[in-house]
Structure 1
Amino acid sequence: MAEAIRIRDRAIEFLRSAAPVALDHFRAPLDVDHKADQSPVTRADRATEQAIRARIAAEFPDDGIFGEEFGRAEGESAALWIIDPIDGTRSFISGHPLFGMLLARMVAGVVQASAVALPAVNEFYAAARGGGAVLNGQPIAVSGCTDPLAATIYVNEGERLWRTEPELLSRVMQLGQNRRFSYDCAPYGLLASGHVDVVVDCGLEPYDYLPVSLLVEEAGGIITDWQGQPLTLESDGRVVAAATPALHAALLQQVFS
């Protein structure tokens, strides 16, 4: 656990050091390109990832790196760093302050430490396997909600679900005492800190879901794919996270079965 906490602290520092790179471009004139899947990308995404990669390469030269913008570079060790330099580029280019920065280190396919930053609002979440979860250095924990009818439910990518999974979305919207449509990584931080009870998400890549997965788990929650299977590099990007096992099980039965 001590090693995981050490890596967690380095991950936080890597994101803190790269945050000014992203913020220098935030709410400033910015050219936007589009990838093959029509998702946007900017020089801020690329510069931020380069800054994070440089810190990793300097301190962990034997580790591999897998980033959204520059792909995967294999290392000599069993460790792999996962980077999403700006999680929520659409939020970023529209001036919305809840874009994130995501970083995780896996060893032999298991996430050992991660950091989730919301630099525009100065929130830095992090987790170490076996060492709990923190927000700006203070311990955090999920709520104790077990009843899906009483839950606060955040639905990420609502328009995508409306197009591709309308019946599932309808089932989700019949649950919860409070429902909000949302995007990106911020809802997972809210879940880990006890403000949100459920996050439903889809269309994610490993660099989107792996860093937040450890944060949720170390805060006491549960996060899986829609079939209830653990998240891995090969998962299909459809995610459900909940504050308690009972709440998660109820969602799997009532929404995803």
Structure 2
Amino acid sequence: MIEFALELARRAEADILPRFRNTDVFTKADGTVVTEADRAAERLMRALIAEEFPDDAILGEEYGAQAGTSGRRWILDPIDGTAAFTLGLPTFGTLIALEEEGEARLGVIHLPALGETVYAARGMGCWHRNDQGQAHEIRVDASAAALRDAYVSSTGVYRTHIQPLKADDPMDLGAVIRRAARFRFVGDCVQHALVARGVIHAAIDTEMHPWDNAAIIPCVLEAGGAVASTRGKTDNLVDAPDLVTASSPALLQEIVATLYNEESR
């Protein structure tokens, strides 16, 4: 099944890369942007899944839910980081996940413009394939025992003290920035792939959807990391409204406590 998911990513890339820095941008009803590359890539992946696994359900960012009877559901985000894509930045990715019994069992984070892929399946470890096609198993860097030792990233400032719109209890991202050894706004799925690869120690996304979450979860877990919502919850992560990945449970819990100004959880 992982090979099929990797093939989906490869085929989607053929629709995405020719349109990189060469596509029209549209605004959706919710104010977010979308391109024809998003739509074309998702249409292609849906068609390939329907051909190979006609009884599987599908959920995609651009075309919504399609019911199935097999108990499996493919979750697709053709371009995670559309804002970066439209700006001509290479930090976007294609996310593909397979969910069974409410859990993401398989995940692919494919970075077309960088020629890299991070992928995992439950019980099979997490792997990184470089732009030469060489793959090796990867692990998180668990050397950062606390925030003061950690390299942390975030996608943005939504639902934080900096931009508290849509937040009843905005997160104190500034406190994390002040306490972390180093902090950068890397953004989107790339930052979580970097956690899995052991390049950084933690990544924070303050606004997420199932198509954002699903592929990331098995990749980080299979790399030996920890995943939770910003409230520290680990159940029903595919549907979590936000996400933290970290190289250890202790570091993740310190980030959660810091975001909400609590000593511990």
Task: Work out whether the TM-score is over 0.5.
Answer: yes
1:27–1:93: 8 Å Cα contact kept in structure 2? Answer: yes
Structure 2 residue 128 is the aligned partner of structure 1 residue 135: yes
The equivalent residue for 1:22 is 16
Measured in 2, the distance between the counterparts of 1:101 and 1:25 equals 14
Following TM superposition, by how much is the alpha carbon of 1:22 offset from its aligned partner in structure 2, in angstroms? 0.3
Measured in 1, the distance between the counterparts of 2:21 and 2:28 equals 21
The equivalent residue for 1:33 is 26
SS of alignment partner, residue 102 of structure 1:
strand
* Identity across matched positions, percent: 36
In the superposition, the TM-score normalised over structure 1's length comes to 0.92
The equivalent residue for 2:233 is 229
Q: Higher helix proportion, which one?
A: 1
- Please list every run of 5 or more consecutive structure 2 residues that lacks an aligned counterpart in the other structure: 130-134
Deviations 1:189-233 (A, max 9, x none): 100000110111111111001111111111000011012112536
Measured in 2, the distance between the counterparts of 1:84 and 1:21 equals 14
- Please list every run of 5 or more consecutive structure 1 residues that lacks an aligned counterpart in the other structure: 1-6
Structure 2 residue 7 is the aligned partner of structure 1 residue 8: no
What pairs with 1:183-198 in structure 2 (closer than 5 Å)? 183-198=187-202
What pairs with 1:111-150 in structure 2 (closer than 5 Å)? 111-136=104-129, 137-144=135-142, 145-150=144-149
Deviations 1:88-113 (A, max 9, x none): 11111110011100000001111111
2:104–2:238: 8 Å Cα contact kept in structure 1? Answer: no
CA pair 106-86 structure 1, distance change in 2 beyond 3 A: same
Measured in 1, the distance between the counterparts of 2:236 and 2:253 equals 20
Aligned length: 250
Structure 2 residue 253 is the aligned partner of structure 1 residue 254: no
1:158–1:182: 8 Å Cα contact kept in structure 2? Answer: no
The equivalent residue for 1:179 is 183
Deviations 1:69-124 (A, max 9, x none): 11100011100000000101111111001110000000111111111100111001
Q: In the alignment, residue 33 of structure 1 is paired with which amino acid?
A: F
What pairs with 1:199-218 in structure 2 (closer than 5 Å)? 199-218=203-222
